[in-house]
Chains A and B, each alone.
Chain A
Amino acid sequence: MIQVQHLSKTYEDLRRGRFRAVDRVSFTVQPGEIFGLLGPNGAGKTTVLRILSTVLRPTSGIATIDGYDVAHEPAEVRRRIGFVSNNTAIYDRMTAWEMVEYFGRLHGMSKTILESRLEKLFEQLRMNEFRDVPGGKMSTGMRQKVSIARALVHDPPVLIFDEATLGLDVLVARNLLGVIRELREAGKCLIFSTHIMSEVERLCDRIAIMHQGRILDSGTLDELTQRHQETDFEELFFSLLSSHENAVQTTEDYALEMGVVQ
């Protein structure tokens, strides 16, 4: 469903010069599967997901969703994805109902289909009590629900959650994870980025650990623990990160020693 091959993205940055936010990342995600992107802040998770949701163009590499290239057929890709970002972006001066309806109509849904779809979604996500509340007056939990409803309104086969649980209280976050599980049961293809390890452990079928723009390792939880002989996932994560940093440091030192100018 989602195929990513050697995806790279570089930026010009004042402090760091040319900066690779994403460095030759590859992975695939199947329908009915939750894929977790785990990494510390600044690892490049958001950039990968933004490329998948077509708002950024990759510098090199190929990413396809349902066979459509994100760089060349963005319109087709957008029809097939729902994107929930970390900053619960909804319009302040629109009610929950208007907001979801607006995006449904942008997807070209007919009025009758949209109506029934909205009723179903609002029921499913228990949003009926605030359907006429404007965005500016909603709590963070409500906003996140509206965001999810907005992403689900056209029933896309692929859903992208970018640090969706950030800033939510335990109750709402738990609720959200429940929704994500339900979506997996419905056969959706889900990609989920976070820096919270417990969420990954509980939720994800397969995991990729990202650091400094690279995927250090990926696989199911069992595969990872076996491969690194570490039962505690948190320990595994840290050892991966630190061994990567050491490796980078050594190559840099080596380069300096050899007098190679980078």
Chain B
Amino acid sequence: MRAGRPRLGAITLIYAREMRDQLRDRRTLFTIAVLPMLLYPLVGMLLLQIAQFTRQHTISVCVIGVEHVTEDAQVPGADGLVSPLLVVTDEEDPDLDGSRVHPLGVSETTPYRFPETLWDSESTIDVFAYRASELARSGDLAERAQQWVRDQVFDCVVCVNQPLGVNAGDLSVEELEAQAASVGVYYNVASDQSMVAKDRTVSILNRWRGTWVRSRLADAGVELSVLDPFKIEDCDIAPERTREAAFWSKLLPFIMLVWAMTGAFYPAIDLVAGEKERGTLETLLCSPALREEIVWGKLGAVMTFSMMTAILNAASMLVTSSFVFNQIGVGPGGTSMGAPPLIPMLWLLVALVPLSALFSALALAVAAMARSSKEGQYYLMPLMMVTLPLVLLPMLPGTTLNLGTSLIPVTGMFLLVRSLVEGQHFEAIAFLPMVAVVTSICLYMATRWAKRQFESESVLFGDGDQWELGAWMRHLWRDRQRAATPTIAFGCGAVILVALFFGKLAVTEMPDTFGGIAKLVFLPQFGLILAPTLLMATMMTTSLKTSLRLNAVNWRVWSLVCVLAFMLHPIYMQLAGFIGEMYPLSPQALEAMRPFGEHIASAPWLSVILLMAVVPAICEELAFRGFIFGGLVRNNSPVRAILVTAFMFGISHGVLQQSISATFMGVLLGWVALRTGSVLPGILIHFGNNALSVSLNRIADLKIPGLQNLITVDAVSQAPQYHPIWTGCALFVSVACLIALYRITADLDAMENNDVLADRLISDQPVRDPSLKQYAS
């Protein structure tokens, strides 16, 4: 048996043990099985109770100025169509409680109510009525009304302090306008009860006003039909099944994903951090089980629990909600909701497998950082914060499956499932490859991270040293090294990104002069990117040259890099154009950027080059490919260093479309930085690329005969373009250059330039090859 290959037998053995262990744990069983089965019915019951409560609860409305709105005030001769706002209840009416105690003990004792025609609901409203004239004697009416609402004597107060036009049937139009009668409705937006009362009162008033309008128009001899010339009829052509599917396809994946996340996390904490805490992990690690087998076994167990939690929760919620919705009649469009169609829901289960695998791997990797279960709990929140936006994004209205969204992890899968559930199979199949590739990449990265965590000594055996600011600062100063450590590099990246974020917030409007634009570029470049880098490089490392990777490279590298600086640009343009098609810029953003482009176009060429090419190339490269890359690459994982710096570099660009293309560019620049062991070639390539970007228009304007074929100006967008053949040539030449660079630097590794090698060896990694020991000391 060869060592190093994971065996299926061992994985299933570990998996079986972890499953048994978790199933024996009462807490886990409770959260995963018992809680969902009890939670939803309980919540459902509560909802029913609340629904009944709101329906039955009596609201109290006070009407001030009762003399203006009751029958007594009715102007003789008014049409019978208009009923008064309030009617006096018959004493004999057994339905109404005539003996209600008046809260203030003043004025009227006659119980009033709204007439049936205005308010025919069976919900109860207690109406209290006062004559305005009586109350006015003891103070201002409005003040009194406000105070009553504030003190919650009444939920809502209607104040009518003058005779309304309703009753003044004989007044002319001019007189009515002059009078501008108003009805004050006092309510408290902070109180739900008051808001309900206000809504009901306003609808009663509206209806009352309606009847009045109708009667007046009838009086004037106008056909009542002019008020309602036509009716709008809703015709939803979606069959009921699809309607239900649309509702469930939004809600259910969300619920399932959130639970899949939660369900993955608790077992993950127990299986890694918990084992670390109890010391059993060490026992397991010195057993013949390989690290990989342990990871796979544990991952399987966590995944099982994640899926079980999601399925149980979804099922319990479905069963409960179909009962509750039927009871309280809530659902989309007021229809009652039944159970969702079952067959499409199976797609959800299929999608759940990779997603819960992803969450499980993430949870496992994160949980491995914790030293104890308690510490593990703290990591749940950050993980949730990172993944929740991906789950919430598809819930936004108008988010549909397209090329852009299908490339976003989790979101793409979510949208794919939704279109499957809604029966749009063709669309779903079209985007399946993208979603599958993105999900597989994420899955691979997450499992790889989890595996690395289990191979890292500092993660598994990190001592429980208390972190202290003072000790840490002293450590930073005392143990300064020639170049940044990975931690310092991460810190520098974080500082730059956060500073840029706040810097961007501080800019409220686009400047309208070239000077303003120059300031807008210079300040972030020098103040927020270069300054923190230089500061950290001088304070935290002993050598500026090493930490910023200002190493000389030989002429062969320089010549290749010169060609690359020139030839990479067409490819970059192609890429940017492609991204622009996939994630189109909004017209508003284009509009906002237009003056920027115009000023750049009209400014002197040399200053534009200085501003847009020289400064960013130097500042950004020194920060990202110099200091940060130099720190990260020492972690013995050049690939990660390249990816992380590229990602940071991308984010620093702010606009999504630019960020994506910058990230790709960052990967290439990172690779060049890795191979050449220096920041200088990156600066040249970056400069070349930016310089060509800002001067392509001018080159096209020169109308040099030969060049005209290479660079054309697009008729519609006025944007310069490279000829496709030239782009193809550039691709060919660039690839050739990169291969040549690879071969040249392969020699450099061994011969003259040991920088790349030395980078790796300074760090605290075991020396594997005895022949390399000379560099270590």
What is the interface size of chain A, counting residues whose CB is below 8 A from a CB of the partner? 43
Inter-chain contact A55/B286, CB cutoff 8 Å: yes
Inter-chain contact B288/A107, CB cutoff 8 Å: yes
With contacts A55-B461, A71-B766, A91-B280 taken as known, whether A83 is within 8 angstroms of B286 at the C-beta atoms is yes
Inter-chain contact A78/B479, CB cutoff 8 Å: no
Within residues 277 to 293 of chain B, which ones have a CB less than 8 A from any CB in chain A? 278-280, 282-283, 285-290
Q: Does chain B have a CB within 8 A of A234? A: no
Q: Does chain A have a CB within 8 A of B170? A: no
B475 is contacted by which of A14, A73, A81 (Cβ under 8 Å)? A14
Give every chain A residue within 8 A of B14 (Cβ-Cβ).
106
Inter-chain contact B279/A17, CB cutoff 8 Å: no
Shortest Cβ gap from A134 to chain B (Å):
8
With contacts A79-B288, A107-B288 taken as known, whether A13 is within 8 angstroms of B282 at the C-beta atoms is no
Inter-chain contact B10/A106, CB cutoff 8 Å: yes
A85 is contacted by which of B4, B282, B764, B773 (Cβ under 8 Å)? B282
For B291, the closest partner residue in chain A by CB is A74
- A15, B290: Cα distance in complex, Å: 34
Q: Does chain B have a CB within 8 A of A102? A: yes
Inter-chain contact B465/A85, CB cutoff 8 Å: no
Inter-chain contact A103/B764, CB cutoff 8 Å: no
With contacts A76-B3, A83-B283 taken as known, whether A14 is within 8 angstroms of B21 at the C-beta atoms is no
Q: Does chain B have a CB within 8 A of A120? A: no
Inter-chain contact A57/B283, CB cutoff 8 Å: no
Q: Does chain A have a CB within 8 A of B467? A: yes
Inter-chain contact A15/B279, CB cutoff 8 Å: no
Inter-chain contact A55/B460, CB cutoff 8 Å: yes
For A75, the closest partner residue in chain B by CB is B3
Shortest Cβ gap from A78 to chain B (Å):
5
- A15, B288: Cα distance in complex, Å: 35
Give every chain A residue within 8 A of B24 (Cβ-Cβ).
93
Inter-chain contact B279/A89, CB cutoff 8 Å: yes
Q: Does chain A have a CB within 8 A of B140? A: no
- A118, B10: Cα distance in complex, Å: 19
Inter-chain contact A12/B764, CB cutoff 8 Å: yes
Q: Does chain A have a CB within 8 A of B591? A: no
Inter-chain contact A75/B290, CB cutoff 8 Å: yes
Per-residue B-contact encoding for A230-254, CB less than 8 Å = 1, 0 else = 0000000000000000000000000
With contacts A14-B468, A75-B3, A89-B278 taken as known, whether A103 is within 8 angstroms of B287 at the C-beta atoms is yes
- A12, B478: Cα distance in complex, Å: 12
Q: Does chain A have a CB within 8 A of B472? A: yes
A102 is contacted by which of B4, B13, B457, B467 (Cβ under 8 Å)? B13
With contacts A14-B475, A17-B478, A102-B13 taken as known, whether A57 is within 8 angstroms of B766 at the C-beta atoms is yes
Inter-chain contact A17/B475, CB cutoff 8 Å: yes
For B777, the closest partner residue in chain A by CB is A60
Q: Does chain A have a CB within 8 A of B471? A: yes
Interface size bracket, B side = 35 or more
Inter-chain contact A106/B289, CB cutoff 8 Å: yes
Give every chain A residue within 8 A of B280 (Cβ-Cβ).
89-91
Q: Does chain A have a CB within 8 A of B25? A: yes
Inter-chain contact B282/A57, CB cutoff 8 Å: no
Give every chain A residue within 8 A of B471 (Cβ-Cβ).
14-15
For B460, the closest partner residue in chain A by CB is A55
Shortest Cβ gap from B20 to chain A (Å):
8
Per-residue A-contact encoding for B375-409, CB less than 8 Å = 1, 0 else = 00000000000000000000000000000000000
- A60, B460: Cα distance in complex, Å: 20
Inter-chain contact B286/A54, CB cutoff 8 Å: yes
- A15, B476: Cα distance in complex, Å: 10
Inter-chain contact A10/B764, CB cutoff 8 Å: yes
Inter-chain contact B286/A60, CB cutoff 8 Å: no
B766 is contacted by which of A59, A85, A108, A150 (Cβ under 8 Å)? A59
Inter-chain contact A85/B767, CB cutoff 8 Å: no
- A53, B288: Cα distance in complex, Å: 11
Q: Does chain A have a CB within 8 A of B209? A: no
Within residues 89 to 110 of chain A, which ones have a CB less than 8 A from any CB in chain B? 89-94, 102-103, 105-108
B283 is contacted by which of A71, A75, A79, A85 (Cβ under 8 Å)? A85
Shortest Cβ gap from A232 to chain B (Å):
35
Q: Does chain B have a CB within 8 A of A18? A: yes
- A54, B284: Cα distance in complex, Å: 11
Inter-chain contact A15/B282, CB cutoff 8 Å: no
B13 is contacted by which of A15, A58, A106 (Cβ under 8 Å)? A106
Chain A residues packing against B (C-beta within 8 Å): 10-15, 17-18, 50, 53-60, 71, 73-76, 78-79, 81, 83, 85, 87-94, 102-103, 105-108, 147, 150
Residue pairs across A and B with Cβ atoms less than 8 A apart, 19 shown, are A10-B764, A12-B479, A14-B468, A14-B472, A18-B764, A55-B460, A56-B461, A57-B766, A73-B3, A76-B3, A83-B286, A89-B278, A89-B283, A90-B280, A91-B21, A91-B278, A91-B280, A108-B1, A108-B9
Q: Which 3 A-B pairs have the closest CB atoms?
A: A75-B3, A89-B279, A53-B286
